[in-house]
A and B are shown apart, each in its own frame.
Chain A
Amino acid sequence: MKYRLVLILGLVLAAWTWAEAPGLSPSSPEGLRPAGTLGETTPATPIPGDPREVEREVRNYPEQPPVIPHIIRGYQVDKRFNRCLDCHSRESAPSAGAPMVSVTHFMDRDGQVRAAVSARRYFCTQCHVPQTDAEPMVDSDFHSIDRVLQEAAEGGQP
């Protein structure tokens, strides 16, 4: 009796798993992962390479954190040392030929400019990333502010 119960329970569980496994994902949206593949292991997309020769890029809107035009592989940014500030700090920027971090990075949350880079702006890659040669994984209908203004001036729907 006991064994039969275990057997039935096992069969029910197996049937449920079989029925549920493909059903895990159809409801998931089409995003970076194709819909209906949540239960599967898909091949990893190749890691985008760092382009060797990069120019500084125009920003798409004034507040955009500028992208990093060089390789930052293995850069140490932690409590002990900040490799980015090795060149981009106020003292080193001219001799390194690098742009100095802007004054906003020295402001605390009250807008008071401090002597050193503020703790909340210390971790560079929270906002700044290198520009890679990766293809966009999802479509974007982003327009630059110039185009939005131009379309508004022409009377069209922006």
Chain B
Amino acid sequence: MKWLKRYWQVLSRPSLHFSLGVLTLGGFLAGIVFWGGFNTALEVTNTEQFCVSCHEMRDNVFEELKDTVHYTNRSGVRAVCSDCHVPHEWTHKIARKMQASKEVWGWIFGTINTREKFEAKRRELAEREWRRFKANDSLECRNCHEFDSMDFTLQEPRAAEAHSTALGGGDKTCIDCHKGIAHELPDMSGVHR
């Protein structure tokens, strides 16, 4: 308790040895360094390299992604993990990153550290992502696939019909129909799609 009081006294009194200029300018520079460092660290956790550094991701979901059009295609455009699983906008990104701390917990305690454990939890994990996409109106899909930019005439008649009615009217969102486009689907019994 005593040391806390001493710190409070130091903090509450004017500085004796440092000028106001050093304190403000130094604080400003330190702020840049810390803020920049924080964001850089945040961006590092957004890279594909970071995600597949765990074997849980590398051997299961990443392997499944590799065959899909979001990873392998003729035009060379590729979506990495964070493009779909982390919101791009800052506030939502921080919220998602805080939720993701549970994944660190799961990693430490080996929640899905074998293929069997992963298969047993596949439906639960998939449902969590479906719920998230449904709640944010498939925000991450729409970062690239803009409804206003879709040319219905180039789509197959059935797709154009569904997009112009259900999607356009807001009754449905991307994930309602487009499940399992980047990873394999779990046992789908009872899932309406």
Residues of A within 8 A of B (CB): 73-74, 76, 78-81, 83, 86, 96-97
Q: Report B-chain residues with C-beta under 8 Å of the C-beta of A74.
A: 67-69
How far apart are the CA atoms of A86 and B188 in the complex, in Å? 10
Where chain A touches its partner, the secondary structure class is loop
B9-17, B79-87, B128-136, B179-187 - interface stretch: B179-187
Known A81-B185, A81-B187: A76·B158 in contact at CB below 8 Å = no
Given contact pairs A73-B69, A74-B68, A80-B187, enumerate 18 new A-B contacts (beta carbons under 8 Å): A74-B67, A74-B69, A76-B180, A76-B184, A76-B185, A78-B184, A79-B187, A80-B122, A80-B184, A80-B185, A80-B186, A81-B185, A81-B186, A81-B187, A81-B188, A83-B180, A86-B193, A97-B158
Interface code B157-193, partner A: CB below 8 Å = 1, 0 otherwise? 0100000000000000000000010001111100001
How far apart are the CA atoms of A83 and B186 in the complex, in Å? 12
Q: Report A-chain residues with C-beta under 8 Å of the C-beta of B69.
A: 73-74
How far apart are the CA atoms of A76 and B183 in the complex, in Å? 10
Could you tell me if A80 and B67 are in contact, using CB atoms closer than 8 angstroms?
Answer: no
Interface code B35-79, partner A: CB below 8 Å = 1, 0 otherwise? 000000000000000000000000000000001110000000000
How far apart are the CA atoms of A79 and B188 in the complex, in Å? 10
Q: Report B-chain residues with C-beta under 8 Å of the C-beta of A86.
A: 193
CB-based nearest B residue for A86: B193
CB-based nearest A residue for B123: A80
Could you tell me if A96 and B158 are in contact, using CB atoms closer than 8 angstroms?
Answer: yes
Q: Report A-chain residues with C-beta under 8 Å of the C-beta of B67.
A: 74
Interface pairs A-B: 6 shortest CB-CB:
A81-B185, A80-B187, A81-B188, A76-B184, A74-B68, A74-B67
Q: Report B-chain residues with C-beta under 8 Å of the C-beta of A97.
A: 158
How far apart are the CA atoms of A86 and B193 in the complex, in Å? 9
CB-based nearest B residue for A92: B193
How far apart are the CA atoms of A76 and B184 in the complex, in Å? 7
Q: Report B-chain residues with C-beta under 8 Å of the C-beta of A81.
A: 180, 184-188
Q: Report A-chain residues with C-beta under 8 Å of the C-beta of B185.
A: 76, 80-81
Q: Report A-chain residues with C-beta under 8 Å of the C-beta of B122.
A: 80
Q: Report B-chain residues with C-beta under 8 Å of the C-beta of A76.
A: 180, 184-185
Interface code B108-125, partner A: CB below 8 Å = 1, 0 otherwise? 000000000000001000
How far apart are the CA atoms of A78 and B193 in the complex, in Å? 18
Nearest-neighbour CB distance to chain A for B185, whole angstroms, equals 4
